[in-house]
Amino acid sequence: DAKTTQPPSMDCAEGRAANLPCNHSTISGNEYVYWYRQIHSQGPQYIIHGLKNNETNEMASLIITEDRKSSTLILPHATLRDTAVYYCIVGNMNYGGSQGNLIFGKGTKLSVKP
């Protein structure tokens, strides 16, 4: 079972920031938060990950609450090409055996509109 809870869908206006929330209240101390996205009929694409601190890369920013029970993925200036299903996943950093598997739930379907 997925260890995260995400809204099933969200809309965002083109050019505006898209803020995608994720709850992971049962996260343990050695688990990272990962975000991936999947554009229709393609393989998932890695976006960003974090453990405790906020992170930023060329694609997005990740804000993790101090208690680590929730996080927000921020796409600062959404474009039509950002329309996709976004997956929030928590995973063990010690990936031996099946622990290397990341459990992808249903994610949030983000629709960016003109």
Both tokens assigned to 11: 């809309």
Q: Can you tell me which residue has the tokens 């060329």?
A: 58
Query: Please, which residue, 59 or 102, has the CB nearer to other proteins?
Result: 102
Q: Site residues for other proteins, window 29-48 (CB under 8 A)?
A: 32, 34, 36, 41-46
Query: Please, which residue, 27 or 34, has the CB nearer to other proteins?
Result: 34
Q: Can you tell me which residue has the tokens 């990936």?
A: 95
State the minimum distance, in angstroms, from the CB of residue 28 to other proteins.
Answer: 14
Among 15, 77, 94, 113, contact with other proteins (rule: CB under 8 A): 94
Position 107 contacts other proteins (CB under 8 A): yes
State the minimum distance, in angstroms, from the CB of residue 114 to other proteins.
Answer: 25
- C-beta atoms surrounding 55 within 10 Å: 17
Name the E strands within the chain.
9-13, 18-23, 31-38, 45-50, 55-56, 61-64, 70-75, 84-92, 108-113
Radius of gyration of the chain (CA): 14
Provide the binding-site residues for other proteins, judged by CB under 8 A.
2, 32, 34, 36, 41-46, 49, 51, 87, 91-98, 100-107
